[in-house]
A = this chain, B = another copy of it.
């Protein structure tokens, strides 16, 4: 039960799920042979799409092999002839859902270009919050992920950045967008779990908080937390949280390239 995997003898084998990820773009160099067994009742894309729908509707935890199979009236184990295992399915979902977002033309204005990269990522993560949980499983190098990365690099191309800096600039923009999306998700989930809005939670726990925090002093947190709480509560547009940090980041990047 150690977390350290032992990879004893076998030489480095190519990752089998790479071909699955790129299945649509593989140009068959030779039609090898007609398949012999029964035809598959559904397609890999249908399976992945169903899993995405499930995740969108009920969260990633609801994406169980049994639940997906049931959607098609298939036996649970049948899914394993489409997909090697659940983790591989999650990677396929991530890449497939990434492909659904069309990449708009990049504006000429640099500032708008960088902002677009962050906003696109943020909006996508808001629409499919489970992506935040999948990212740990390394959805590397799928075709749609690769397209996305190329597009992001185009947005920072021609600014005079080094190759390394281009990669890092994209990382800052995308990373920050992700962290904002994550904190929004936490807030939403907290409301689901407790069954109260944030304001209601504070009201319900006001006395308790005052009691337990009686011995501690939070002059700044008290003042700032209140201000932030009221602002976020009133904010009809949640992307507002994104804009402040994004403006600072873009300022910093532009100052760097104009140096």
Chain A: residues with CB nearer than 8 A to chain B?
1-7, 12-15, 18-19, 21-22, 25-27, 58-59, 61-62, 132-133, 135-136, 138, 140-141, 143, 146-147, 149-150, 153-154, 157, 162-169, 171-172, 174-176, 178-180, 182-183, 185-186, 189-190, 192-196, 200-201, 203-205, 207-209, 211-216, 218-221, 223-228, 231, 241, 244-245, 247-253, 255-256
Contacts and interface: CB of A to CB of B under 8 A. Distances in A.
Contacts of A223: 163
Given A163-B228, A189-B136, A205 B251 contact: no
Contacts of A174: 179
Nearest to A157: B220
Provide the main secondary structure of the chain A interface: helix
A91 B132 CA distance: 19
Nearest to A223: B163
B136 A220 contact: no
Contacts of A149: 218, 221, 225
B255 A19 contact: no
Contacts of A175: 175-176, 179-180, 182-183, 245
27 contacts: A3-B62, A4-B192, A12-B196, A12-B201, A15-B205, A25-B213, A25-B216, A27-B214, A135-B182, A143-B212, A146-B216, A150-B218, A153-B220, A153-B221, A153-B224, A154-B220, A162-B227, A163-B223, A163-B224, A164-B227, A167-B224, A171-B180, A171-B183, A175-B180, A251-B252, A251-B256, A252-B252
B178 A244 contact: no
7 tightest A-B contacts by CB?
A175-B179, A7-B195, A252-B252, A248-B252, A163-B227, A12-B204, A22-B212
Identify the interface centre among A132, A138, A221: most chain B CB within 10 Å of its CB: A221
A14 B207 contact: yes
Contact of A26 (B7, B58, B168, B211): B211
A251 B255 contact: yes
